[in-house]
Amino acid sequence: MTSPRTTLSLVDTDPAELAVDAIVIGVHSQTTEAGTGASADALLLASGAESIAAAFDGKLTETLALLGATGGPGEVIKLATLGTVTAPLVTVVGLGPEPSGAAPAPEALRRAAGAAVRALAGAPRVALALPLPDDADAPAALRAVAEGALLGGYRFAGYKTKPQPARREPVAEVLVAVPDAADATAQAEIARAQAVAGAVRTSRDWVNTAPNELRPPVFADAVATAAREAGLEVEVLDEAALAAGGYGGILAVGQGSEAPPRLVKLTYTPAGGGNGKRVALVGKGITFDTGGISIKPAQGMWEMKSDMAGAAAVGAAMLAVAALKPAVTVTGYLPMAENMPSGTSYRPGDVISMFNGKKVEVLNTDAEGRMILADAMARACADGADYLFETSTLTGGQVIALGKRIAGVMGTEELCERVRVAGDATGEPAWPMPLPDDVRKGMESDVADISQVNAGMDRAGHMLQGGVFLREFVTDDVAWAHIDIAGPGYHSGEATGYWTKGGTGVPVRTLVHLVEDVATNG
C-alpha cells in the first residue's frame, strides 16, 4: 500500500509573487520577561520573509502577535493575505530563538518545514521561503528543508472504506525558494532529498501496513520487487533454503507461524568496484511479535506490527543507495519471521544451533529479534564485510534508558562514534552505550555456548544484553554497530515536526549517511 507522494522543486522567484496556494515563512521568538505575553517586538521574522513583510507594510509581526504567535518551535499560524501578495495564504512557522550569528540548525529547519507542510494539507501547491544560509552550510540547510517538507507531508494510505470529509489530501507540490534555482549544488540536494525521503516514506509504508497483510513471505516479495525495480541484485531464502543453510535462529523463531520465515539479501555493486570497501546492513524483520510462548500482555500488542522496522529501514536504505550510487559495495540482509505461539513454537529451554555453529540456550521466546539477527549478522561476516551496521526494535530497555527519540548504539567504539555523528547530522540521534564484561558473564549457560538473555532472567542492563549477545556473532575482523530503535522506530503519539503517527523511517537517513561516509572516507 503506497502513500500519496509529494513532488519537490526549486524556484528563485520573489516569494511575494509566487502563484501558489500558500507561502511559508519563518519567525523567531525573542526573549521577553516571564508573564508579559507575546508582543510584536517579541517576534522576529526570519530571513526569506523580507518581501512578504514589505507587502504587509511592516505590520506582519504585529498581526501575528494579535493572533497569539510566539515563534516557538513548530508553531504554525495561518494568515489570509487579502491580496497583499499573490498567494492567498501566508503560513508562519516558529523556529524558536534566533541563533547567535548563524542560520537555524538543519534539524530546526527540517522540523519547521515538516510541521508547515503537514498543516497545509488540502493546499495543492505550497512554497517554502525559509531561512537558508549563503555559506558552506547552505547545502545541509536546503537538504533539511527538502526532507522535512517531503516527510511532514507523508500520510499512510490506510484502510478506510468510507470517504473522510475532514481528511484533506497532503500537499501535492512543494516549491523551495532559493537564490538560484539553476545552481547545480542546490539541484543535487533536491535530487538527493527526493531519493532519501522517498525511501523513508517506503519504510513507513511497510511499517504501517497491517500485520495480516505483511507476513514474512509477503514482506519478502514486496522488498524483492522494489529492489529489483531499483536495479539491485536480489536473493530470497525460503524455509527450505534456510534449513539447508543452517539458519537455526531464523527457523526457530519462525516455526510457530503458518507463514514461514525468509531471509532477503540485497546487493548494490558500484561501477568499477568502488573504493574496495564492503558495507553490510542488517535489519530485524519480525512482522508481528506476540512474544511466542513467553507471550506479551495484550495491552499495546498491536504496535508489534512495527517489530520489522529495522528490516524496513534496511530495505528502504538499499533503495536509496541504488538511486544515489555511492562508490562502495553495500549488501542488505533482512531476516523475516513471525513470532507466534502454537504447537510448533520454539520453547524456553530449547538449544538452537546458529548459522556460525554456536549453540544458544533459549530462556525467553520474546527475545526473538536477537535470534534472527544473529544468523543474518553471521552470514554478513561470512560473506566478507568490512563494516556491519545492524538496526532493530530490539529492547524495551532502550526506551527506558534513552527515551523515544534517541537510539542506543553498541559495538566497535570507532563505528559507534560514526553512527553518533551521522545521527546528529540527519536528525536521528543515537547515543553510544557500553558492553560490560559482567553483562556477558550473566549470560553464561550451563548447557550451551551462551544464553539468549541473562541466565537469571534479570532485566538489569536489558539493552546491553542484546548488544552483548549480538557481539558473539560478529567476527573479530569486522567493525560493527548495533542500533537499537525500539523507541525511535515507531511514533504512537500525535504528529510532530516531520514525524507523523506510526512508522518513522528511523534510521534510513542515518544508514544512507553512513554508507556515503564510507564511500568517501573509507
Measure the CA–CA gap between 44 and 439, rounded to whole angstroms.
Answer: 52
Measure the CA–CA gap between 444 and 358, rounded to whole angstroms.
Answer: 13
Question: Is 296 an active-site residue?
Answer: yes
Measure the CA–CA gap between 379 and 474, rounded to whole angstroms.
Answer: 9
Four-CA torsion 210, 216, 217, 223, nearest 10 degrees: 80
Q: DSSP secondary-structure letter at 412?
A: S
Peptide bond into 507 cis (omega under 30): yes
Q: Are strands 387-392 and 407-411 parallel, antiparallel or unpaired?
A: unpaired
Q: How many CA atoms lie within 13 A of 326 on its CB side?
A: 28
Q: Look at residue 460 and give its three-state secondary structure.
A: coil
Question: 395-426 burial, b for 16+ CB within 10 Å, e for fewer?
Answer: bebbbebbebebbbbbbbeebbebbbebbebb
- Mark residue 343 as left, alpha or beta (left: phi above 0; alpha: psi -120 to 50; beta: remaining): alpha
Structure-block grid coordinates of residue 483: 542500533
Identify the active-site residue in 110, 262, 265, 370: 370
For residue 262, which amino acid is it? Answer: R
Question: Is 358 an active-site residue?
Answer: no
Identify the active-site residue in 5, 78, 125, 296: 296
Measure the CA–CA gap between 400 and 433, rounded to whole angstroms.
Answer: 13
**How much is the CA Rg of the chain, to the nearest whole Å?**
24
Point out the residues that are catalytic: 296, 370
